[in-house]
Amino acid sequence: AQTVTQSQPEMSVQEAETVTLSCTYDTSESNYYLFWYKQPPSRQMILVIRQEAYKQQNATENRFSVNFQKAAKSFSLKISDSQLGDTAMYFCAFTPHGGANSKLTFGKGITLSVRP
Protein backbone atom coordinates (compact mmCIF):
# COMPACT_ATOMS: atom_id res chain seq x y z
CA ALA A 1 0.00 0.00 0.00
CA GLN A 2 1.07 3.54 -0.71
CA THR A 3 1.39 6.10 2.06
CA VAL A 4 2.15 9.81 1.91
CA THR A 5 3.41 11.62 5.00
CA GLN A 6 3.46 15.34 5.64
CA SER A 7 4.75 15.71 9.16
CA GLN A 8 4.56 19.51 9.45
CA PRO A 9 0.96 20.61 10.13
CA GLU A 10 1.65 24.34 9.80
CA MET A 11 4.30 26.73 8.53
CA SER A 12 4.63 30.46 8.26
CA VAL A 13 6.82 32.56 5.97
CA GLN A 14 7.46 36.25 5.43
CA GLU A 15 6.32 37.66 2.12
CA ALA A 16 9.09 37.53 -0.55
CA GLU A 17 11.03 34.86 1.30
CA THR A 18 11.49 31.19 0.42
CA VAL A 19 9.82 28.27 2.16
CA THR A 20 10.15 24.52 1.77
CA LEU A 21 7.33 22.07 2.49
CA SER A 22 8.30 18.47 3.23
CA CYS A 23 6.75 15.24 2.02
CA THR A 24 7.82 11.62 2.21
CA TYR A 25 6.11 8.62 0.70
CA ASP A 26 6.35 4.87 0.76
CA THR A 27 5.67 2.55 -2.14
CA SER A 28 6.89 -0.64 -3.75
CA GLU A 29 6.08 0.70 -7.21
CA SER A 30 8.95 1.53 -9.52
CA ASN A 31 7.10 3.95 -11.74
CA TYR A 32 4.79 6.57 -10.28
CA TYR A 33 3.88 10.23 -10.19
CA LEU A 34 4.02 12.78 -7.41
CA PHE A 35 2.03 15.99 -7.10
CA TRP A 36 1.64 19.06 -4.97
CA TYR A 37 -1.85 20.50 -4.77
CA LYS A 38 -2.90 23.81 -3.29
CA GLN A 39 -6.21 24.39 -1.52
CA PRO A 40 -6.85 28.11 -0.89
CA PRO A 41 -9.62 29.32 1.44
CA SER A 42 -12.08 28.87 -1.43
CA ARG A 43 -11.36 25.12 -1.00
CA GLN A 44 -10.94 24.58 -4.74
CA MET A 45 -8.06 22.16 -5.25
CA ILE A 46 -5.45 23.37 -7.72
CA LEU A 47 -2.50 21.45 -9.12
CA VAL A 48 0.78 23.23 -8.35
CA ILE A 49 3.39 20.89 -9.79
CA ARG A 50 3.86 17.32 -11.00
CA GLN A 51 6.91 15.04 -11.00
CA GLU A 52 7.36 11.78 -12.89
CA ALA A 53 9.43 9.31 -10.92
CA TYR A 54 11.43 8.12 -13.91
CA LYS A 55 12.66 11.67 -14.57
CA GLN A 56 15.70 12.63 -12.55
CA GLN A 57 15.32 16.31 -13.29
CA ASN A 58 13.33 18.20 -10.68
CA ALA A 59 10.12 19.80 -11.93
CA THR A 60 9.81 23.59 -11.90
CA GLU A 61 6.81 25.85 -12.43
CA ASN A 62 7.65 29.53 -12.11
CA ARG A 63 8.21 30.19 -8.37
CA PHE A 64 7.51 26.56 -7.46
CA SER A 65 10.09 23.81 -7.64
CA VAL A 66 10.54 20.39 -6.14
CA ASN A 67 13.44 18.47 -4.66
CA PHE A 68 12.76 14.88 -5.64
CA GLN A 69 14.98 12.31 -3.93
CA LYS A 70 13.79 8.93 -5.22
CA ALA A 71 16.09 6.77 -3.09
CA ALA A 72 15.04 8.60 0.05
CA LYS A 73 11.40 8.72 -1.11
CA SER A 74 11.29 12.41 -0.43
CA PHE A 75 9.41 15.05 -2.43
CA SER A 76 9.63 18.58 -1.04
CA LEU A 77 8.13 21.74 -2.50
CA LYS A 78 10.06 25.01 -2.54
CA ILE A 79 8.17 28.25 -2.95
CA SER A 80 10.37 31.20 -3.86
CA ASP A 81 9.45 34.85 -3.46
CA SER A 82 6.39 33.94 -1.39
CA GLN A 83 3.27 35.96 -2.07
CA LEU A 84 0.20 36.59 0.07
CA GLY A 85 -1.81 34.56 -2.43
CA ASP A 86 0.27 31.51 -1.61
CA THR A 87 -1.52 31.27 1.74
CA ALA A 88 -3.31 27.94 1.52
CA MET A 89 -3.26 24.33 2.52
CA TYR A 90 -0.78 22.28 0.48
CA PHE A 91 -1.14 18.58 -0.17
CA CYS A 92 1.44 16.13 -1.42
CA ALA A 93 -0.05 13.28 -3.49
CA PHE A 94 1.04 10.05 -5.13
CA THR A 95 -0.31 7.80 -7.85
CA PRO A 96 1.25 4.70 -9.41
CA HIS A 97 1.74 4.68 -13.14
CA GLY A 98 -1.27 2.63 -13.98
CA GLY A 99 -3.17 -0.60 -13.57
CA ALA A 100 -6.07 -1.39 -11.32
CA ASN A 101 -4.40 0.17 -8.32
CA SER A 102 -4.08 3.62 -9.86
CA LYS A 103 -5.64 5.51 -6.98
CA LEU A 104 -4.51 8.97 -5.97
CA THR A 105 -3.35 9.11 -2.35
CA PHE A 106 -2.90 12.38 -0.45
CA GLY A 107 -0.92 13.36 2.62
CA LYS A 108 -2.63 15.12 5.51
CA GLY A 109 -1.62 18.52 4.21
CA ILE A 110 0.20 21.51 5.61
CA THR A 111 -1.26 24.94 6.27
CA LEU A 112 1.01 27.67 4.93
CA SER A 113 0.57 31.26 6.05
CA VAL A 114 2.39 34.07 4.24
CA ARG A 115 2.88 37.10 6.47
CA PRO A 116 2.87 40.62 4.95
Partner 1 sequence: SQTIHQWPATLVQPVGSPLSLECTVEGTSNPNLYWYRQAAGRGLQLLFYSVGIGQISSEVPQNLSASRPQDRQFILSSKKLLLSDSGFYLCAWSVGPFEAFFGQGTRLTVV
Q: Are 35 and 45 in contact (CB under 8 A)?
A: no
Least distance in Å: CB of 96 to partner 1?
A: 7
Distances (CA, A) of 4 to 74, 87, 98, 106, 107: 10, 22, 18, 6, 5
Binding residue (CB under 8 A) for partner 1 from 33, 66, 73, 86? 33
- Shortest CB 97 distance to partner 1, Å: 5
* Residue count of the chain: 116
The interface mask with partner 1, positions 47-76, x = CB under 8 A, is x--x-x------------------------
Write down the least CB distance from residue 115 to partner 1, Å.
19
